[in-house]
Amino acid sequence: MSIQNTPLLQTNRLTLRKFTQSDLPALLNIHSDKEVNKFLPMFPLKNLTDVKTYWENQYAAAYKQKQAYQYAICLKEDNIPIGLHKHQHERQPRLRLRPHQSILASRYCNRSRQSYP
């Protein structure tokens, strides 16, 4: 098995892929939601300038490494990020899913909840 940096993953409904610079408005949508970010160790981002800096430091920099897993979680139907997953190798593995508030109330979250006993 070869080591890849954030390889493309697909399910019937979702695509997990790298964030691109064209995703900055979606990243702002995710990271500016105060309710979603309430318990996270960072403040909500306020504008596209902040998001661009964050993307450059967190995502673009990680994608230059030999191995990193920094996923944009997108619905297959439109390929627009609705959440993210980050796995940092220097730390204990953990899921850091950050869906936007509109997704939390959608039929997609209900489907994922039904998957667990």
Q: Look at residues 90, 87, 88, 83 and name the one whose alpha carbon lies nearest to residue 106.
A: 83
Q: What is the pLDDT of residue 116?
A: 39
Strands across the sheet with 69-75, in order? 9-10, 14-18, 69-75, 81-87
- The pair of structure tokens assigned to 99 is 């869906």
Which pTM was predicted?
0.74
Alpha-carbon distance of 74 to 54, in angstroms, equals 19
Q: What is the pLDDT of residue 115?
A: 44
- Residue-wise pLDDT for 42-89, tens only, equals 788 999 999 999 999 999 999 998 888 889 999 999 999 988 888 766
Q: What does the pLDDT average to over 106-116?
A: 48
| pLDDT top residue among 107 and 84 | 84
Q: Scanning the structure block, which residue is given the tokens 């869906």?
A: 99
Residues 6+ apart with CB under 8 A from 9: 15, 16, 17, 71
Q: What is the pLDDT of residue 87?
A: 75
- Residue-wise pLDDT for 24-40, tens only, equals 999 998 888 787 777 76
Q: DSSP E strands: which ranges in the chain?
A: 9-10, 14-18, 69-75, 81-87
Domains of the chain: 9-114 (3.40.630.30)
